[in-house]
Amino acid sequence: MRYIVIALLVIIVSATDALADTPCLALTPQSNTVPLSATILAGADLPIGSVIYRLTITSNGFGIRCNGAMNNIPLLFGVSNEPSTPISVGGAPYNGAVVYPTNQPGVGAVVWYSGNAFTKTMPFRTSTFNFGSNGVTNTMYFSRNVDISLIKTGAISAGFVNGSSLPTIVLYTPETAGYTGLPLNYWTLKFSGVVGVTTGTCTTPNVNVDLGKHDMRTTFKGKGSASEWVDSSIILEDCPAFLGYYPTSNPQKSSTTGDTSGGTTPSGSATANSLVVSLTASTGIIDSANGVIALNNEGSDSSATGIGVQIGYKNTTNPTLWNFSNSWTYNTVSDGAATIKLPLAARYYQYSDVVTPGKASSSVIFTISYQ
């Protein structure tokens, strides 16, 4: 009977030990402040919800140590300090992100990981720790990067987005049943410095082009014949400095370590601002794919017949034919020039078997969207 009692006591003690909470601690926690340093131009015609700046921050790694197995321990990105109340913005990326207003009107901020936004009340689970076994000390090392993007939320005027107006990011493990020492903060990330934001458009004067006088017999000898190209470029004046911007596809980058409370100054080359040029024929289109438009008053006694005006672009001596079904994206250069030349060319083009003499004028309306 004595041996039976001892065996029962051993079983009871073992069961009690199994129910004890497992202690855990964070290894190499970091608290960093990243100094923002950029000046961008936000295109005046970018739609609401567009990303005008993105910064990716990488860390050199963290760790968690538990005196037992890790079972279903979550790792979350969240926000510990919200300088403003997040709002919904139509068209914003990152899974329908909510956006934090900044100190700069028309500019909001989204913090996100792997394409998913997060807030203080809506953290995002990056992974779940399931590792090790009971009875031994288990250590898990890991690293993460995180992003912050500035979003167009309305009309933007020139100014500065202060780093202090952005949310504080935290990488953490929340309280979890069966473990002590939690919650654990691995990474606290704040921002200083500024992102300068400029905007603006150019002056777009009307363009009058003289295509010259031409002898029917020597210039128009059959369908497809044409006169010489004439420079018809659009000259934009009083332009802002097109400094570029950092869309989702091209972020600035910074890194942090546990050895310093700062982060590296963000670096990277900006994406060029673009001008999206569209042409609309005021007189009608004869051949959209080959850029041929009709003449003014075609069919009247004074108008030439059998010819139209053909438009080309990209250069003025051997241009690419304009397609009226498409637009042209012209990438600007960040050289500070106040004048930009959009190279266009025009010429007369014979589209009919028969050409009759007369006046030959036409017109197009050009529209420029600043991106």
Phi/psi at 17 (5° precision) = -60, -35
Would residue 11 count as lying in a domain? Answer: no
CA atoms within 13 A on the CB side of 289: 0
- What is the domain-level CATH number for residue 37? 2.60.40.3310
The pLDDT score that the predictor gives to residue 257 is 87
Would residue 311 count as lying in a domain? Answer: yes
The pLDDT score that the predictor gives to residue 16 is 38
The pLDDT score that the predictor gives to residue 301 is 73
Please check whether residues 289 and 168 belong to one and the same domain. Answer: no
Helix (H, G, I), strand (E, B) or coil at 124: strand
Number of structural domains (the chain) is 2
The pLDDT score that the predictor gives to residue 263 is 85
Would residue 317 count as lying in a domain? Answer: yes
* Model pTM above 0.75: yes
How far is residue 98's CA from residue 111's CA, in Å, rounded to a whole number? 9
Please check whether residues 226 and 178 belong to one and the same domain. Answer: no
Would residue 38 count as lying in a domain? Answer: yes
Would residue 252 count as lying in a domain? Answer: no
Question: Is there a contact between 33 and 192 (Cβ–Cβ < 8 Å)?
Answer: yes
Please check whether residues 186 and 37 belong to one and the same domain. Answer: yes
Would residue 267 count as lying in a domain? Answer: no
Please check whether residues 302 and 186 belong to one and the same domain. Answer: no
Please check whether residues 137 and 284 belong to one and the same domain. Answer: no
- What is the domain-level CATH number for residue 278? 2.60.40.1090
Dihedral angle of Cα 335, 341, 342, 347, to the nearest 10 degrees: -160
Question: What's the average pLDDT block by block, 10 residues per block, for the chain (371 residues)?
Answer: 36 45 96 97 95 96 96 98 92 85 97 96 96 93 97 95 98 98 97 97 93 93 96 97 96 90 91 97 96 87 92 96 97 93 97 94 95 95
Phi/psi at 165 (5° precision) = -90, 5
In sequence order, what DSSP letters do the residues of 278-322 get, joined into one string? EEEESS-EEETTTTEEPPTTTTSTTB-BSEEEEEEES-SSSPEEP
Please check whether residues 46 and 187 belong to one and the same domain. Answer: yes
Helix (H, G, I), strand (E, B) or coil at 366: strand
**Segment 335-339 long-range contacts (CB within 8 Å, at least 24 positions apart):** 336/241, 337/239, 338/237, 338/238, 338/239, 339/235, 339/236, 339/237, 339/239
What Rg value do the Cα atoms of the chain yield, rounded?
32
The domain in which residue 290 lies consists of: 216-246+273-370
How far is residue 197's CA from residue 189's CA, in Å, rounded to a whole number? 23
How far is residue 32's CA from residue 35's CA, in Å, rounded to a whole number? 10
Would residue 92 count as lying in a domain? Answer: yes
Quick one: which H or E segment has residue 4?
helix 2-18
Please check whether residues 230 and 189 belong to one and the same domain. Answer: no
Question: Is there a contact between 188 and 168 (Cβ–Cβ < 8 Å)?
Answer: yes
Return the percent helix, strand and coil in the chain, to nearest 5: 5, 45, 45
